[in-house]
Structure 1
Amino acid sequence: MKEDLVSVIIPIYNASKYLSNTIECILNQTYKNLELILLNDGSTDNSLFICNEYSAKDHRIIVIDKPNSGQGDTRNKGIEVASGKYIYFADSDDLMDLKLIETAVRGIEDNDLYVFNYYHSYVRKDGGRTNQKERDFLEGDYKIGSDKERLKFISNNFLNYGCGFEVWNRLYRADIIKNRNIRFPVFKPVIAEDVCFNLFYLMHINKLKVTNERLYYYLYRSDSSMGPDRGIVRVNQYNRLSKCLYEYLDSINYRYMISNFSVIHIKLLYHELMNMSLKDAGKELNKIEDYDFNSSRLIEARRKPLLFIEVMGFVKGIKYYFLSRYYYVKK
């Protein structure tokens, strides 16, 4: 039986030190029916040369050279040219188990999404690695048969990091992405594009499989542009993410999610506020850029204590409901 084509999309920006290892991981997969889309996002190092070298040796590789526009926009370009039945996103400086694609294709059969776990290592400047504590996912086969079940899965699993926030630890169906026009938002400054993309995708699926099998090696490097950036900057960014999702739901006329959106909004904010005292959290939210959007969602939450209990259960529902009351600070 012919294998279904899998499109592997890798955005690349100044990754020449690590890129060859990542490309080799894809080309040497046990699953062979791949197209590897390498998108050079205006790199100023040797990345484009490396891409072209590999392209000359393997017909499965497509190289796209484009002006710098950021990772999300670059991935969107990859989606446009992808022709596979499934889409997989990888980063340009990480490593993968050679059975990743084979395992994921097998796992997505009869599902709309397949999610797997990963290893997390910190790479020091001297090249040595320090393994980080691994987190187990909420493994299982999930069926989403109603709007309330979808809201419960998003609130109790996804936003609790029960299956990760990333795009590189899951295999997607290309028809859902393309038919529903799901794309990465382009945030400035960049934050949580993966979270937003996955939330868009979760609005359109009915079945997914989550496994704790670790197939990806996420390498956090000392020269990474990502780093700790807490406080009002991050709160603003997650509020912006929440608004982006809200506007998307409005654009697809998903009235149930719109009317009950306060649950998702509180969970997103709590992701950044959980290490602050309630007093400090209230002060930060009072300085938020889009105050009206945030305060409107918090006011909605105050009116729906039973919704929080129905979605999260009694103990957690009460907790998040009262957090919504504490978080609201009138200007």
Structure 2
Amino acid sequence: MVNKVMVSIIIPVYNVEKYLEECLDSAINQTYRNIEIIVVNDGSTDGSLSILNEYASKYSNLKIINQENKGLSAARNSGLKQVKGKYVYFLDSDDFIDLTMIEECVDLAEKNDLDIINFDAQVFYDSDFITDFKPDYDRSKILNQDIYSGQDFYKYTINYNAYKAPVWLSFYRLAFLKKNKLDFYEGITHEDELFSAKAFLCATKVMYLCKPYFYRRVRKGSIMTESKSLKNIKGYMIVAEELSKILDTIDNEDTKRVLKKQIFNFYNNCIYLSVLIFDNQDELNIQIRKIRNNILVNFKLIEINKKLLIKCIFPNYYTKRLRKKLAMVLV
């Protein structure tokens, strides 16, 4: 392939010196050569910056942006502002990608005028990390390798339990992101849940490619394995609020129904995490009242599921039932 089209790879970096070289090598050694690599050093305090400086001295297509620690979303947004490529890919700095990924995605995107290409991932574990967390990103038995409208892809994957929000499973056309003013909500966890939903819902053409291009590392201390905190509750709450704002912009009733289902799930996650985090019943009741008030402000959601409102109105009853179930599982 003649490498005429430039692709931008954005890599946020924060204290990942142990994994960084493997990530950078997978970007630098792509079979597709016309690539710019924008690395955003988000205030790292370990040896990550030294590694980045060493790579930047060797590779002219690697650019470093240094900023104080602002979080993953802010780092990605900083990279987006500097992008020169026609296509953009967001790579996490403790993971890596298949060396043919960019070439094959560019070829398909150019031939089919695609907004998004979505693909699968392989999961591997740090040798010193033992966990029951076993994510599965193989959807080849559920999805057909085909081109969909964005809304059809969103509906189908959710209805068949094949929806995956992480942006590292998608390859984007930059003009599409700019046209729809898509960037990352800063200061929250679960930012991909918001970004990906909005992207799929406004995309004209999405292709699913049943290849595991992404290699996902499961390790201690990563964002994906640290999920039980108030930050996670706040993140889910904001995602639900922001997605609620776009309900009226969707004309298709099936799509709207599926989006409401997702919003319900995010609020449900808030309640579930609250039960796990708060041992004190009074503190738990205060937290669930906050969630309830947030839901009631969004009156459109009341029609989704009465069970959600019951959990909020009678938190003591729900808490006892859930803790009893958890106790049975842990026996």
| TM-score under structure 2 length normalisation | 0.77
Alignment check: 8 A CA contact 1:122 1:132 kept: no
Unaligned runs of 5+ in 1: 278-282, 304-319
User: What is the rounded CA distance, in whole Å, between the counterparts of 1:286 and 1:159 in structure 2?
Assistant: 30
User: What is the rounded CA distance, in whole Å, between the counterparts of 2:198 and 2:36 in structure 1?
Assistant: 25
Does residue 1:119 correspond to 2:122, yes or no?
yes
Range 254-263 or range 40-49, more displaced:
254-263
Shift of 1:159: 7.8
Alignment check: 8 A CA contact 1:301 1:324 kept: no
Task: Tell me the amino acid that sits aligned with residue 120 of structure 1.
Answer: V
User: What is the rounded CA distance, in whole Å, between the counterparts of 2:190 and 2:250 in structure 1?
Assistant: 24
User: What is the rounded CA distance, in whole Å, between the counterparts of 2:16 and 2:230 in structure 1?
Assistant: 31
Q: Find the counterpart in structure 2 of residue 55 from structure 1.
A: 56
Does residue 1:134 correspond to 2:136, yes or no?
yes
Shift of 1:172: 0.5
Say which SS state the counterpart of residue 290 (structure 2) adopts.
Answer: coil
Task: Tell me the amino acid that sits aligned with residue 179 of structure 1.
Answer: K
Distance 1:290 1:223, change over 3 A: closer
User: What is the rounded CA distance, in whole Å, between the counterparts of 1:38 and 1:287 in structure 2?
Assistant: 40
Q: Find the counterpart in structure 1 of residue 148 from structure 2.
A: 143
- Provide the aligned length of Structure 1 versus Structure 2: 299
What is the RMSD computed on CA atoms of the aligned residues?
Answer: 3.5
Task: Tell me the amino acid that sits aligned with residue 119 of structure 2.
Answer: F
Alignment check: 8 A CA contact 2:14 2:42 kept: yes
Task: Tell me the amino acid that sits aligned with residue 56 of structure 2.
Answer: S
User: What is the rounded CA distance, in whole Å, between the counterparts of 2:229 and 2:43 in structure 1?
Assistant: 31
Alignment check: 8 A CA contact 2:22 2:96 kept: yes
Shift of 1:121: 1.6
User: What is the rounded CA distance, in whole Å, between the counterparts of 1:5 and 1:194 in structure 2?
Assistant: 24
Alignment check: 8 A CA contact 1:122 1:220 kept: yes
Q: Find the counterpart in structure 1 of residue 172 from structure 2.
A: 172
Alignment check: 8 A CA contact 1:176 1:204 kept: no
Q: Find the counterpart in structure 2 of residue 21 from structure 1.
A: 22
User: What is the rounded CA distance, in whole Å, between the counterparts of 1:214 and 1:255 in structure 2?
Assistant: 32
Shift of 1:85: 0.4
Distance 1:9 1:159, change over 3 A: farther
Q: Find the counterpart in structure 2 of residue 312 from structure 1.
A: none
Shift of 1:209: 1.1
Task: Tell me the amino acid that sits aligned with residue 148 of structure 2.
Answer: K
Distance 1:119 1:3, change over 3 A: same
Alignment check: 8 A CA contact 2:264 2:308 kept: yes
User: What is the rounded CA distance, in whole Å, between the counterparts of 1:95 and 1:155 in structure 2?
Assistant: 29
Task: Tell me the amino acid that sits aligned with residue 266 of structure 1.
Answer: F
Q: Find the counterpart in structure 2 of residue 197 from structure 1.
A: 195
Shift of 1:23: 0.7
Distance 1:232 1:143, change over 3 A: same
Shift of 1:265: 1.5
Q: Find the counterpart in structure 1 of residue 157 from structure 2.
A: 157
Task: Tell me the amino acid that sits aligned with residue 235 of structure 2.
Answer: Q
Q: Determine what percentage of the aligned residue pairs are the same residue.
A: 25
| TM-score under structure 1 length normalisation | 0.77
Say which SS state the counterpart of residue 81 (structure 1) adopts.
Answer: coil
Alignment check: 8 A CA contact 2:292 2:313 kept: no
- Provide, for residues 288-323 of structure 1, a one-character-per-residue CA deviation record: whole Å limited to 9, x for no partner: 5353331244x53454xxxxxxxxxxxxxxxx6454
